[in-house]
Structure formats: structure tokens, C-alpha cells
Amino acid sequence: MRILSVDWATKKALKIYDSQTSKVRTIQNSIDAFKKFLVGLKEEKVRMLFEFGGGDTFKIMAFRAGHEVLQVPGKKINDFRESLGKEKSDEVDAKLIYDYYIQAGAKRSVTKSSIISLPRPDANNGGSATLNVTNSSIRLLPSSFSLFTEADAVISEVKILFREHEDLKKDMVREKLRVIAFKLKFEIAQVADDRIKKITFDKEAAIISKERELEQIKKVLDKKVRQFDVWKNYLEKIKGVGPVIAAGLISELGGRSFESDENLKHYAGMIPRNQSTNYNRYVKMILFQFAEAIIKKRTAKWRDMYDSMKEFYRSKHEDWRSGKVNAYAMKFIETKFLLEFWREWNKYEEERA
């Protein structure tokens, strides 16, 4: 099977290593360019290798086009590169994703007549027995690689919309501040020019347009999150948690795996600031939004926990200012909620499986 390994970056071009030609191809980081690339493959079905955590649009496009998509943790590729003593570059990483795929066991295969023995608990004798499975009932994938499925595609769709919502909201806030500053400068200069008024009007109209876009994305997210059991059975019941917060949690955490609660907290930025590196800023942001919402809505359990922790930190650290006490109390409930959400997510995913 032809293998294509894709190194994806936010603002750079895509680098695609082709196992058939042993060459790295460069295409623009755009939906249109990747669409043309997929059309160029014609009827051929290929296996595409991506890293976790990025390129969701391209993964969905490849998957919807009928190609097989595999994902590998980026840390595995970073460690592999360092073990080889290679300098980081997009071209190098595109090739390394493929090299790691081969090293991780891509060549393993079983024939139709082969039988694999897998260990399993045996309740009858208290020991273990073997489960014989033919290759027709098991997929052999390289170690550390996982198959991108329809469930992953749905999560990725939510993620694309959620990030668009948050980035657009951030831009809108900046634009509002620019308009305020723009108007203030001319007021100070005592300028009342019709052209300036027209420019101000256009700027304010653009902000209104973005606000409408945000509302439309929010409505779509509301429909999307209703597909998930963790929304119906858990998140929807928490006053203050709406479709945007739910979408952020589901899309940024769903489908991932963490070796421990500490790894999860590190990924979310819920650890001491001097240790907090390479965390997911979207998760940290959505947890902060959750804390603000439950405080404002006076949500049962969570607001009580927040008030109790404020009192605890205030009595334990009499020299702390109110801002620091508040920050610590908020981070405490953010962390507690993160861990609770993660347990709920896994519970409902295991039930569905």
C-alpha cells in the first residue's frame, strides 16, 4: 500500500513524504490545495500518517475521501528524531513519521490461514487461557499508531468549529478595543469629520457581523455536542456549561489518552506555572471559562467548592491579596472539574464501546 506521511504546521506549508517516490512534496496549507492534492490521487486509496493534535481539517478530508488515516503522538516523533541526532525541520519530520511507522511494526502481517494466540482471563481455572483470532477479526497496526475513525472525525469537526469560535471571539475583542481607541483619538483631537464617522461606522458594522458569525457557530456547536453521551448525561446538567464549553472539552480532550491524572493536568496547564510548558491553551482557556460561569451562575456544588477554597486560602495565607486567593480557588475547582469530566468521558465511551 502506498504510504503518505504528512507534517502539518499552523502557518507553514504542508510537507508530504511519499513512500512510493521517496520524495517530500510541498503544498500550501489550505483546504483548496489539499483538496486538489486528494483529487490528484484519483481512484487510488492510500494510507496517510499524521501526528495527533493538529491538521484536523486535512485528516477529515482524507478520511471522507476514503483514505485510511493513522495518527501517532507527536512526542514519539520528537523522541525518535532526537535518538537519531537529526535537526528538526518540516522535511525531516515528514520523512521521520514514515520511518517511525516502519520501525514501529508496519510490516507485521498475518495470512488468511494464520492464527494468533492472545492472552485472556480464564474464569474456570483461575488462570489464563489463549484466545485464537484470525486476521479477519483483528487489525494489526504499528505500535503507538491508532486508526482515525468516524468517531474521531466527529470530534475533529467539533474541534474545528470550537477553535474557529474562540479565535473569532478573540479577534472581535481586539477589534472592539481598536475601535474605542480610534474614536478616542479623534475626540481628543476635536475632529468631527464625516469621513472619520464613516470609517468608525464600518468598523462597528464589521464587529456586529462577527458577533452574528459567533452566534451561528454556537448554534451549530449546540447540535454537534448533543451527539455525545457525556453531554446528555453529565455536562448538560451543570448550570453554566453551554455548547461552547462542552465543545471545547469534548474536542480538545476526547479521543486522547493520558497515562495518569498528572499527565492530564499537565496537558491542561493545571500545574505550577514554572512547570507549565507545552500545555493546550484551549483547554486551559475553557476551564477558566467554566470557573467564571459557575461563579456567576452560582452553580450548586461548584460554587460552594469555590467559596470554601477561598475561605481556606484566605485563612491559611493571611498575607495573600484577594486577587491571589481568588486565582488559587478558581484553579482548584478548574482542576477538580477537569478530572471529573475526564472520568465521565471515559465512563460513557467505555459503555458505548
**282-328: per-residue pLDDT in tens?**
999 999 999 999 999 999 999 999 999 999 999 999 999 999 999 99
151 has pLDDT over 70:
yes
Q: Work out the mean pLDDT of the chain and round it to a whole number.
A: 86
117 has pLDDT over 50:
no
- Model confidence at 350, in pLDDT bands (50, 70, 90)? confident
- Distance from C-alpha of 331 to C-alpha of 306, rounded to nearest angstrom: 9
Query: Residue 11 is placed in which grid cell?
Result: 502557518
Q: Pick the closest to residue 146 from 37, 3, 49, 42 (CA basis).
A: 49
Cβ atoms 29, 13 nearer than 8 A: yes
- CA end-to-end span of the chain: 29
58-82 pLDDT, tens digit each: 999 999 999 999 999 888 999 999 9
- Model confidence at 353, in pLDDT bands (50, 70, 90)? low
Cβ atoms 247, 156 nearer than 8 A: no
262 has pLDDT over 80:
yes
Strand (E) or helix (H) holding 134: strand 128-134
- Distance from C-alpha of 38 to C-alpha of 143, rounded to nearest angstrom: 27
- Distance from C-alpha of 158 to C-alpha of 226, rounded to nearest angstrom: 11
CA angle 161, 167, 173 (to 5 degrees): 135
125 has pLDDT over 70:
no
Q: Tell me the angle at which helices 322-352 and 302-316 cross, rounded to the nearest 10 degrees.
A: 140
| pTM listed for this prediction | 0.78
Pairing between strand 128-134 and 115-121? antiparallel
79-92 pLDDT, tens digit each: 999 999 999 898 99
- Distance from C-alpha of 254 to C-alpha of 349, rounded to nearest angstrom: 9
HSE-up of residue 37 (Cα within 13 Å, Cβ side): 23
| Between 33 and 183, residue with greater pLDDT | 33
Q: Where are the alpha helices (DSSP H) in the chain?
A: 31-40, 56-64, 74-84, 90-103, 150-188, 194-225, 229-233, 243-253, 261-268, 281-297, 302-316, 322-352
| Between 256 and 63, residue with greater pLDDT | 63
- Distance from C-alpha of 191 to C-alpha of 142, rounded to nearest angstrom: 68
For residue 296, the one-letter residue type is K
Burial (CB count within 10 angstroms: exposed 0-12, middle 13-18, buried 19+), residue 230: buried
Dihedral over alpha carbons 116, 121, 124, 127 (to 10 degrees): 100
Domains of the chain: 3-106 (3.30.420.110), 112-141 (no CATH), 153-352 (no CATH)
Query: Residue 149 is placed in which grid cell?
Result: 475513525
CA distances from residue 213 to 167, 220, 225 in whole angstroms, order as listed: 12, 11, 18
| Between 97 and 271, residue with greater pLDDT | 97
Chain centroid offset of residue 149 CA: 16
